[in-house]
């Protein structure tokens, strides 16, 4: 214990502070220590050495300490250090410093009466080491997550390319004159391929949710049209299993709201698919309501009930976990991965809602999915999904247009699939295997539309679209559809932002390809160019606003 000029200090108090692991010092109004324990002196020996040699103020002792620790420092550097630590002393701000024995201590100066101050130094070396290790582990986890995402994105791309060949050729066969047995065999190929595609999409969605990379993209959307379209989509499947399938909409349900229609469709489809899958007879019903909240948003609730096999409480408790189904035999009997409900709940929570279930063994189940939807802004475009023309009308119109189409893809099977899809529509198709060839084709002749792959050798799709839009030739505004195996969140928006006018992810469905071509043919080149300019300006405004 260092000497003190304080009188009548209780020996018990002196012994107590001497045995504390923390350093304690009491300074007088000039910053000269009048009491301190051994821990404090060991941590800052040069400071107390200065006082022992006659330093009359804290600033003098600090200067001595800095020169001892930094013998090569200039006077300006010494003065800066003295000013820095004096400021900490005066403000009472907690700061950290490395001690003479290499430890890290956290120091706080607290005011006392008559201008005195007490300084407490706490050793935080182990804490900082653990924080360093945690940061390192976190960085490693983030790197692993990014590596997983990159792997899954690459896996998605690689799997989608051969799947495009399998499903594409099966669709071509299905359109031919087949015997009933052959049609059943082709349908089996298509069903199996689509199941594999659904599995791939679920795994990618789960990965994106875990990585926090799912984006909720809201737009003014006709909610009632979206729900009725879903009802039509699943009605045939329900009737095929002998089930009644009803859609009930609340009379007060708003027609148009602001929400992410893609994610809502995905969630509701998951629930309807499960209801049909696990219902042997009876009915599946969808009830939709909306409640206006105080903040102006609408809480939309969609309940999907069935008369299926039902579940017990234990099953319901674990139902929304990834890779979980009712029991181990469920996937063998009914198919599926157990990812759909987990994804549905995660998406519902991202959209401000929730997903829940009520069920009873043998008496069916009722799933509730909810989400927040904003009021539709009148000046914004309303997304109304589907073609204004019927599918038959759209196909007939395309047959009569004798379109000239440039198909750009380095994979011969992908080109063959697209060509076979388009052959019945009297189109003149010119093929190119990379962007450089595509630009040469555009120089030679005029095309009505370009189908452009993204990943190609020599010149890829992103560089090709830049050349097309930057050209001073008439074909700079030719409609371009991105035809790609990239199907991660944000890919569509990214390619549209590059100047593409449409986007199709592989494997390509014949119906989707025809729909996209028909959509673009209903819009003039000038209007498409104006839309691209407007979208680019909107993106710049959003970026400036965010900045």
Note whether 227 and 299 are same-domain residues: yes
C-alpha torsion angle, residues 449, 452, 457, 459 (rounded to 10) = 60
Model pLDDT for residues 307-343, shown as the tens digit of each residue: 998 888 888 888 887 655 444 444 444 444 557 788 8
Asked which of 162, 191, 210 is the last residue of a domain, the reply is 210
Assess whether 236 and 366 both reside in one domain.
Answer: yes
Residue 354 to residue 359: CA distance in whole angstroms? 17
Residue 407 domain flag: yes
Among 131-135, 235-239, 243-247, 323-327, the minimum mean pLDDT is found in 323-327
In a domain, 286, yes or no: yes
Q: If you average pLDDT over residues 427-439, what whole number do you get?
A: 94
> What is the mean predicted confidence (pLDDT) over 497-501?
88
- Tell me: do 422 and 522 sit in the same domain: yes
**Inside any domain, residue 301:** yes
246 and 363 together in one domain: yes
CATH number of the domain within which 426 lies: 3.40.50.2300
Q: How many Cβ atoms are within 10 Å of 360's Cβ, its own excluded?
A: 13
pLDDT in tens, 262-285: 889 889 998 999 999 899 999 999
Domains of the chain: total: 4
DSSP 76-98: HHHHHHHHHHHHHHHHT--EEEE
Long-range contacts of 192-198 (CB under 8 A, 24+ apart): 193/163, 193/166, 193/167, 193/507, 194/167, 195/335, 196/159, 196/163, 197/163, 197/167, 197/507
| CATH number of the domain bearing residue 162 | 1.10.287.130
| pTM score | 0.54
Note whether residue 56 is domain-resident: yes
1 occurs within a structural domain: no
Same domain as 264, residue 173: no
CA 336 to chain centre: 24
Compute the distance between CA of residue 432 and CA of residue 43 in angstroms, rounded to an integer: 75
- Name the residue range of residue 242's domain: 219-375
Q: How far apart (Å, rounded) are the C-alpha atoms in residues 484 and 482?
A: 6
Q: Of 161, 186, 210, which residue is a domain's last?
A: 210
Predicted confidence (pLDDT) at residue 448 exceeds the cutoff of 90: yes
Cβ neighbour number for residue 362 with a 10 Å cutoff: 10
Please check whether residues 237 and 205 belong to one and the same domain.
no
> Per 3-state DSSP, what percentage of the chain is helix, strand, and coil (rounded to 5)?
50, 20, 30
C-alpha–C-alpha distance, residues 466 and 289, integer Å: 46
Question: Is the CB of residue 458 less than 8 Å from the CB of residue 529?
Answer: no
With cut-offs at 50, 70 and 90, classify the pLDDT of residue 452.
very high
Average pLDDT, integer, range 195-210: 73
Do residues 48 and 32 make contact, with C-beta atoms less than 8 angstroms apart? no
pLDDT at 348 (0 to 100): 93
Most confident region among 181-185, 225-229, 375-379 by mean pLDDT: 225-229
**In this structure, is residue 382 part of a structural domain?**
no
Q: Which of 184, 210, 236 is the last residue of a domain?
A: 210
CATH code where residue 317 lies: 3.30.565.10
Summarised one tens digit per residue, pLDDT across range 82-98 is 888 888 888 888 888 88
pLDDT of residue 383: 47
| pLDDT mean across residues, the chain | 83
243 and 301 co-located in one domain: yes
Among 149-163, 189-203, 307-321, 406-420, the range of highest mean pLDDT = 406-420
Asked if residue 248 is part of any domain, the answer here is yes
206 and 223 share a domain? no
Indicate if 363 and 400 belong to the same structural domain. Answer: no
Let me know whether 333 and 295 are in one domain. yes
What tokens were used for 396?
Answer: 């007939």
Structure tokens belonging to residue 127: 């804490």
Mean pLDDT score, 35-54: 89
DSSP string, 288-342: EEEEE-TTS-EEEEEEEEE-S----HHHHHHTTSTT--SSTTHHHHH---S-HHH
Within a domain: 384: no
Residues 371 and 223 in one domain: yes
Asked whether residue 143 falls in the same domain as residue 119, the answer is no
pLDDT at 152 over 90: no
């Amino acid at each position: 214990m260092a000497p003190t000029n304080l009188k009548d200090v209780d020996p018990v108090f002196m012994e107590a502070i001497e045995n504390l692991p923390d350093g304690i010092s009491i300074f007088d109004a000039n910053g000269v220590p009048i009491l301190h324990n051994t821990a404090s002196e060991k941590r800052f020996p040069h400071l107390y050495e200065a006082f022992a040699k006659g330093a009359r103020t804290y600033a003098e002792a600090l200067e001595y300490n800095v020169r001892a620790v930094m013998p090569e420092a200039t006077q300006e550097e010494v003065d800066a250090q003295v000013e820095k630590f004096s400021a900490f002393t005066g403000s009472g701000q907690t700061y950290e410093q490395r001690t003479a024995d290499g430890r890290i201590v956290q120091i706080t100066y607290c005011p006392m009466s008559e201008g005195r101050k007490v300084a407490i130094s706490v050793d935080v070396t182990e804490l900082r080491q653990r924080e360093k290790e945690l940061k390192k582990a976190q960085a490693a986890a983030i790197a692993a997550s990014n590596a997983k995402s990159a792997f899954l994105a690459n896996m998605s791309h690689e799997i989608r390319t051969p799947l495009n060949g399998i499903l594409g050729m099966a669709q071509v066969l299905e359109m031919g004159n087949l015997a009933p047995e052959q049609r059943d065999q082709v349908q089996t190929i298509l069903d199996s391929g689509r199941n594999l595609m659904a599995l791939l999409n679920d795994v990618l969605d789960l990965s994106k949710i875990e990585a926090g990379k799912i984006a909720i993209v809201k737009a003014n959307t006709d909610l009632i049209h979206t729900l009725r379209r879903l009802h039509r989509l699943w009605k045939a499947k329900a009737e095929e299993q002998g089930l009644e399938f009803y859609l009930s909409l609340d009379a007060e349900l708003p027609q148009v709201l602001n929400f992410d229609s893609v994610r809502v469709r995905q969630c509701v489809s998951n629930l309807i698919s499960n209801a049909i899958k696990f219902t042997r007879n009876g009915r599946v019903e969808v009830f939709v309501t909306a409640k206006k909240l105080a903040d102006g948003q609408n809480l939309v609730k969609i309940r999907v009930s069935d008369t299926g096999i039902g579940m017990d409480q234990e099953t319901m408790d674990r139902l929304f976990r990834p890779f979980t189904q009712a029991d181990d035999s469920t996937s063998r009997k009914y198919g599926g991965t157990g990812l759909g409900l987990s994804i549905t709940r995660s998406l519902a929570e991202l959209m401000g809602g929730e997903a829940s279930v009520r069920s009873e063994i043998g008496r069916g189940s009722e799933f509730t999915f909810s989400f927040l939807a904003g009021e539709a802004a009148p000046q914004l475009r309303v997304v109304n999904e589907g073609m204004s023309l019927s599918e038959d009308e759209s196909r007939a119109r395309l047959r009569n247009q004798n379109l000239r189409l440039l198909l750009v893809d380095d994979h011969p099977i992908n080109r063959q699939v697209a060509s076979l899809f388009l052959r019945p529509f009297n189109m003149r198709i010119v093929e190119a295997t990379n962007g450089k060839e595509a630009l040469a084709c555009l120089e030679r002749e005029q095309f009505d539309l370009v189908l452009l792959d993204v990943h190609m050798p020599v010149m890829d799709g992103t560089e090709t679209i830049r050349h097309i839009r930057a050209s001073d030739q008439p074909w700079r505004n030719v409609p371009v559809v991105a035809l790609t195996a990239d199907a991660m969140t944000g890919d569509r928006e990214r390619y549209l932002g590059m100047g593409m006018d449409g986007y199709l992810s592989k494997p390509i469905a014949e119906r989707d390809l025809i729909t996209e071509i028909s959509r673009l043919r209903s819009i003039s080149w000038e209007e498409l160019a104006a839309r691209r300019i407007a979208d680019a300006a909107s993106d710049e405004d959003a970026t400036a606003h965010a900045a």
